[in-house]
Amino acid sequence: MKLRKIPEKKDYYILSFDDVPELNLMSLFDSDAARDDENSLDKMAILTLLQVVKDNSSEVKVHNFYKGLTIVNPAVITEITEENFTLKTVNTQLKIVQITRYMTITSEIFPKDVICKSVKNVDSDNQTIVIDDVTFASRSAADRKYTRLEPDPDHNCSLYFKNIKFPGESSVMDISEVSAKLKTDALPAGIEVGIKIKVVVSLKLKGRLITISTLGSVYRIDENKRDYNIVVLYELSQKNLNDIKAYLSNRQIELIREFKSIDINSQHKNKNPDYVI
């Protein structure tokens, strides 16, 4: 449904409808059918929904992250073909898409968020993005309840299991009030999902050093070629919670300034004039 106010007429509206059954998309709105991977990966269904948005002169929202910093902007659909579609959006979103090569699109008419897995082209002059590989997301971009940011590079991190420090180097990939994603060179025997480990992180906040020390439960372990990623869930003491909130607020300001200072055009100018990704 699309609701529009009638100019100069108080409390009068135009309500327009798109018939979901006629679009052959009803299965996408059925909770059981939505779990079916075949439906979730139906590119043509997504393009059809995007056509509805375009025909109603509506906007979608483009979501992205820079080191955890949330960047959301409106966009309009300018063209749809059988293979791809084109969005027109603001320069801020064009910039972050060129950095991340990834984006998520949301709309009130989508049964789920749409993940853009392949960005074919970014045209800074025309402020457009061409996308040719999409799928429905398993989770919404709006589900993130807590701010989760990549810390400053000067932080320190130590991990302990049964009061014994992990061998090798450890670092924080991102951190929030309730969890942290950690990288470590070595994984001691006995570390598995559900195990408690001690996390000690030192961060710089406005010239002073703060230390977050807490026990956490291992939620996920990802093994890479040379290291391991561990997601740890925890409940912080009030002092640690106050410190991390202050740090995250200050870190967001730092990341905003850092993002604004990046010159994408100079980075891509000599590589590819069309900024093909």
Any idea where the domains of the chain sit in the sequence?
2-143, 156-254
Sequence-distant (≥ 6) Cβ neighbours of residue 12 within 8 angstroms: 5, 6
Spatial separation of the C-alpha atoms in residues 126 and 177, rounded to whole Å: 40
Q: Provide mean pLDDT across the span 24-53.
A: 65
Q: Do domains 2-143 and 156-254 have the same CATH topology?
A: yes
Write the pLDDT tens digit of every residue in 67-84: 999 999 999 999 999 889
Other CB atoms within a 10 A radius of the CB of residue 8 amount to 6
Write the pLDDT tens digit of every residue in 258-267: 999 988 765 5
For residue 42, which of 130, 114, 131 has the smallest C-alpha distance? 114
Name the H helices within the chain. 37-40, 43-55, 91-100, 238-261, 264-268
Mean pLDDT of the chain: 85
Q: Provide mean pLDDT across the span 176-195.
A: 94
Asked if residue 34 has pLDDT above 50, the reply is no
DSSP state at residue 124: T
Query: Residue 144's pLDDT is what?
Result: 74
Asked if residue 246 has pLDDT above 70, the reply is yes
For residue 231, which of 266, 179, 185 has the smallest C-alpha distance? 179
Spatial separation of the C-alpha atoms in residues 26 and 43, rounded to whole Å: 15
| CB burial string 13-47: b at 16+ within 10 A, e below | eeeeebebeeeebebbeeeeeeeeeebbebeebbb
Are the CB atoms for 159 and 198 separated by under 8 Å? Answer: yes
Query: Residue 241's pLDDT is what?
Result: 95
Asked if residue 46 has pLDDT above 70, the reply is yes
Q: How far is CA 176 from CA 7, 8, 84, 97, 232, in A?
A: 45, 47, 36, 24, 10
Asked if residue 141 has pLDDT above 70, the reply is no
Sequence-distant (≥ 6) Cβ neighbours of residue 180 within 8 angstroms: 172, 174, 199, 201, 216, 231, 232, 234
- Write down how long the chain is: 277
Query: Residue 23's pLDDT is what?
Result: 56
CATH architecture, domain 156-254: Beta Barrel (2.40)
pLDDT band, very low/low/confident/very high, at 21 (cuts 50, 70, 90): low
pTM strictly above 0.75: no
Asked if residue 272 has pLDDT above 50, the reply is no
For residue 251, which of 197, 141, 139, 172 has the smallest C-alpha distance? 172
Asked if residue 13 has pLDDT above 50, the reply is yes
Question: Domain 2-143, what fold?
Answer: Thrombin, subunit H (2.40.10)
Query: Residue 270's pLDDT is what?
Result: 42
Q: Provide mean pLDDT across the span 57-69.
A: 92
Which pair of tokens denotes residue 240? Answer: 């640690």
Query: Residue 22's pLDDT is what?
Result: 55
| CB burial string 204-240: b at 16+ within 10 A, e below | bbeeeebebebebebeeeeeeeebbebbbebebeeeb
Which pair of tokens denotes residue 216? Answer: 């956490």
Asked if residue 129 has pLDDT above 90, the reply is yes
Are the CB atoms for 180 and 233 separated by under 8 Å? Answer: no
Write the pLDDT tens digit of every residue in 197-231: 999 999 999 889 999 999 999 999 999 999 999 99
